[in-house]
A and B are shown apart, each in its own frame.
Chain A
Amino acid sequence: MSLLEVRGLAVEFDTAEGPVRAVRGIDFTVERGRTLGIVGESGSGKSVTSLAVMGLHRGAAVTGSVRFDGTELIGAPEESVRRLRGRRIAMVFQDALTALHPYFTIGDQIAEAYREHHGGSRKAARARAVEVLGDVGIPDPARRAREHPHQFSGGMRQRAMIALALSCEPDLIIADEPTTALDVTVQAQVLDLLAGQQQARGLGLVLITHDLGVIARIADEVLVMYGGSAAEQAPADRLFTAPRHPYTRGLLDSLPRLDAPEGEPLRAIPGSPPSPLAPPPGCAFHPRCAVYAEHGSPLCTADRPLLRLVAEGHRNACALDEVTTG
């Protein structure tokens, strides 16, 4: 049994301008000890997906199936999902400065989560907080536990956020852009910390990012999202060596390369992400797609392409898959 099995997950919410289908039916699986990277631009539905898995997307209609360790979470009573949150599924948010409470000390915030799920004395919870702060490499954790988030540096704050997630020994961690707010050098440290803890504890990890470099560093599997749907899904090494979807190729092509000839401009995917209010018909990517521009097919504008198996463990949602690979 997989740790997390998501099938046909869709999230729709009402806005003043009309209903928005932020996620339009995606599937993925996370195994214990493995890392799934979800990559996509802002607005591709990756953060909404993570909140929907946690049952934290308030005011949105979530359909489909999210099975955690065999238990269905969609439609489950709020109280039973709440007991899983923090305890078995923990989240690491993007900007720890706003995600941690400014009024309470770091130690308090970790101890609070621990006591909620494990009970016990305040003292034991404090001790646990200091212990995990030490685990994530915060020097002098007993003293730092008594400080407030604004007294931490960005990297230390994100470590504290990870300590908070680890404090209850969860089985799954969902990290939503955990390194985006950090300096590049600190990014690497925090990623290594996250990957190290994941390995050491045998956790399932869902890593949401727009940064392919981050994916390359620690993901086992990758799900590329575009316009609320899955564009391509593959093992990480395959995705980087043999990408199939024109969007994935565009993303990889737009990575800056040190070995590029001097004077060559950075490449970008033309156009901008689709409006969630009025997505284009058919494949959401076709207005920006180089393959469509060249080999334009009515298939691309007729129906939303479904993921099809193109190689072992490799799925691609492109009507022109044969063209691209042929």
Chain B
Amino acid sequence: MTGFLLRRLLGIAGTLLVICALTFAVFYLLPSDPAAQFCGKDCSADRIVMVRQQMGLDDPLIVQFGRYVLGIFAGQTLGSGQYAVHCGFPCFGYSFQSGQPVWDLMLDRLPASASLALGAAVLWLLLGLSAGLLSALRRNTWVDRTVMVATIGIAALPVYFTAMLLLYVVVTVLGLMPYPRYIAFGEDPVGWIRNLILPWITLALTFAAIYARMTRNSVIETMAEPYVRTARAKGLRERRVVGRHGLRPALTPVATMLGMDLGGLLAGALITESLFSLPGVGKLFADSLNKADQPVIMGITLLASFFIVTSNLVVDLVYAWIDPRARLT
């Protein structure tokens, strides 16, 4: 178990390093000059040269990369003399746009993204699992067919269409609530829910449809397993046969998928956040892309990769905990 964890953590570190290097290389190949970006519009040629020096952009790429990676763990001092700025652990550099530390920017935006992702996950699990289970247990009836047709339709809806439709109907036509704006949970929990409900629905619908179909297939498959027949032959009540013997194995692949999806969403749901102007990591990423704000893009890419590889590990651990046959090697 310890060996397994060690190996996996090493693997994670390696993966992140490779992703970091690739992102770094991509920016080096881009035609835009970070120094000019950082310096601003009315910048003289002399000043650009100075900024280049300060930022260490004249050094070889490998040195810059080394400095970047080392900086994440040990912090780094940028510039020299009177211009020296120390950037403490974990240092992802400073935004070209705002001059703020990337880490602080991301930390600032994380609560909104986490709120969106976790709330939406609760919603899509409730919807997806119940629809999928209902469909599986009423297989080939009109209930099943209705659910399956509905899920195909919903899964095909683009997020921006759902968002616009919801906003138009709920806010403009029905006037049920003002245009949502993000309120932190700590400030006003009720306001947090009220303002996030439309983004949650928007994000959850597609997932709910996919989860419903997956749950249905998984439950149908599991209920045909010999061990479910054994449970019936033992004389157990159908409720127990389904709930204890059928559902647990059926939900294992769903749990795996949930881990991956959540991992991906924690670092921001780009489109949904942008559509609702939620101050999340995804929105920050979209804005930074528009402005070619390299340090922020790098930081968020790494953060997202970190969440994804970590959730992968968590999924494996949970899987081993659910299924005693799984060996951690």
Contact = CB atoms under 8 A, between A and B. Distances in A.
Contact of A112 (B232, B233, B236): B236
Contact of A164 (B225, B234, B236, B322): B234
A95 B225 CA distance: 12
Interface residues of A, number: 25
Interface string B288-311: 000000000000000000000000
Interface in A69-128: 82-87, 90-91, 93, 95, 98-103, 112-113, 116-117
Residue among A91, A102, A164 with most chain B CB within 10 A? A102
A102 B235 contact: no
By size class, the interface of chain B is: 20 to 34
A288 interface: no
A54 interface: yes
A56 interface: yes
Given A103-B324, A150-B325, A56 B231 contact: no
A112 B229 contact: no
A90 B232 CA distance: 11
A99 B324 contact: no
A101 B243 CA distance: 13
Given A101-B245, A148-B325, A150-B324, A82 B230 contact: no
Interface string B231-267: 1111111001000010011000000000000000000
A56 B233 contact: yes
A86 B229 CA distance: 12
Contacts of A117: 235
Contacts of B235: 82-87, 113, 116-117
Contacts, number: 66
Interface in A299-321: none
Given A148-B325, A150-B325, A99 B236 contact: no
B324 A116 contact: no
Contacts of B31: none
B322 A103 contact: yes
A117 B240 CA distance: 14
Interface in B195-250: 225-227, 229-237, 240, 245, 248-249
B58 interface: no
Contact of A101 (B230, B233, B322): B230
Contacts of B227: 98-102
A76 to B, nearest CB: 14
Contact of B226 (A83, A99, A148, A150): A99
Contacts of A91: 230, 233
A100 B249 CA distance: 13
A102 B325 contact: yes
Contacts of B226: 93, 95, 98-99
A285 to B, nearest CB: 30
A26 to B, nearest CB: 21
A108 to B, nearest CB: 10
A125 to B, nearest CB: 12
Contacts of B232: 56, 85
Nearest to B252: A103
A85 B231 contact: no
B108 interface: no
Nearest to A101: B227
B225 A98 contact: yes
B234 A113 contact: yes
A325 B242 CA distance: 54
B323 interface: yes
B229 A56 contact: yes
B44 to A, nearest CB: 70
B130 to A, nearest CB: 22
Interface string A186-205: 00000000000000000000
A54 B249 contact: no
Contact of A85 (B233, B240, B245): B233
A71 B116 CA distance: 59
A86 B233 contact: yes
Nearest to B324: A148
A5 B248 CA distance: 38
Contacts of B249: 102-103
Contacts of A100: 227, 230
A103 B322 CA distance: 7
A86 B325 contact: no
Given A99-B227, A102-B227, A102-B249, A116 B323 contact: no
18 contacts: A56-B229, A56-B233, A83-B235, A93-B226, A93-B230, A98-B226, A99-B226, A100-B230, A101-B230, A101-B245, A102-B227, A102-B249, A103-B248, A103-B323, A112-B236, A113-B234, A116-B240, A148-B325
Leading 3 A-B pairs by shortest Cβ distance: A86-B235, A85-B235, A86-B234
Given A101-B231, A116-B236, 19 more contacts: A83-B235, A84-B235, A85-B235, A86-B233, A86-B234, A87-B235, A95-B226, A98-B226, A99-B226, A99-B227, A101-B230, A102-B227, A102-B325, A103-B249, A103-B323, A113-B235, A117-B235, A148-B324, A148-B325
Interface of A: 54, 56, 82-87, 90-91, 93, 95, 98-103, 112-113, 116-117, 148, 150, 164
